[in-house]
Amino acid sequence: GESVGLHLPTLSVQEGDNSIINCAYSNSASDYFIWYKQESGKGPQFIIDIRSNMDKRQGQRVTVLLNKTVKHLSLQIAATQPGDSAVYFCAFTTSGTYKYIFGTGTRLKVLA
Amino acid sequence: EAGVAQSPRYKIIEKRQSVAFWCNPISGHATLYWYQQILGQGPKLLIQFQNNGVVDDSQLPKDRFSAERLKGVDSTLKIQPAKLEDSAVYLCASSWGSGANVLTFGAGSRLTVL
């Protein structure tokens, strides 16, 4: 299918290495954050989420870190695999609004 | 459970023509969203429904875009007349809506305006 994110920032990592993808947000009232993965020709797929009362949450091979002081969110992927190649978006919202704002996205390329 | 269904997957039209996209959310999801994703960008919210009422349509170009969610279930997004800059993927998403919850997205409808 047609590629998503031809002009997005790109992170290239070797297979097996760890990846770190970053996201900044501006609204200090944001209290719920989600990372999505979007493969070519598909809709965004949920990876992991975190609420503002936490600063770290771990899933299978993924960790999300939240720094509310500097309004920064990161996604760490351990032992990156070829199947991790995709565009990654952060999204954030404020409770009660259900309005989700998406970041600009980062394209992850996994090199064999 | 079945995911969010969208149709058509692809549509090519001439500028000034009209087009409609359909979305069926996950059963029981009260909140439905339409996002526009231009190539190389993140999704941008067009309109948000809570059941069959509009919660936010501040970024919907109302002179040409319209959306409805009759009976609080499926939804249609219409563009009339289309412009070249409307070429994008139109993503539908749904969530439970009570509190901050994960959005589940459909595969999207890719529109090309010539």
> What is d(CA A34, CA B63) in angstroms, rounded to the nearest whole number?
32
Residue range B5-22: average pLDDT? Answer: 98
The mean predicted confidence, pLDDT, of chain A is: 90
Q: Please determine, for residue B72, whether its predicted confidence score (pLDDT) is greater than 90.
A: no
Q: Would you state the structure tokens that stand for residue A7, as one six-digit string? A: 């002009």
Cβ neighbours of residue A66 closer than 8 Å, sequence gap 6 or more: A33, A50, A52, A54, A55, A56, A72, A73
Cα dihedral across residues A75, A79, A80, A81: positive or negative: negative
B5 and chain A in contact, CB less than 8 A: no
Nearest residue to B113 (alpha-carbon basis) of B75, B81, B91, B67: B81
Half-sphere exposure of B70 (CA within 13 A, CB side): 4
Out of A31, A46, A103, name the one closest to residue B42 (CB).
Answer: A103
**Residues on chain B touching A23 (C-beta within 8 angstroms):** none
The rounded percent of chain A whose pLDDT value lies above 70 is 94
Inter-chain contact A98–B104, Cβ cutoff 8 Å?
A: no
Interface of B with A in 54-73 (CB under 8 A): 55-56
Inter-chain contact A98–B106, Cβ cutoff 8 Å?
A: no
Digit-coded pLDDT (tens) for A27-68: 888 899 999 999 999 999 999 999 999 999 999 999 999 999
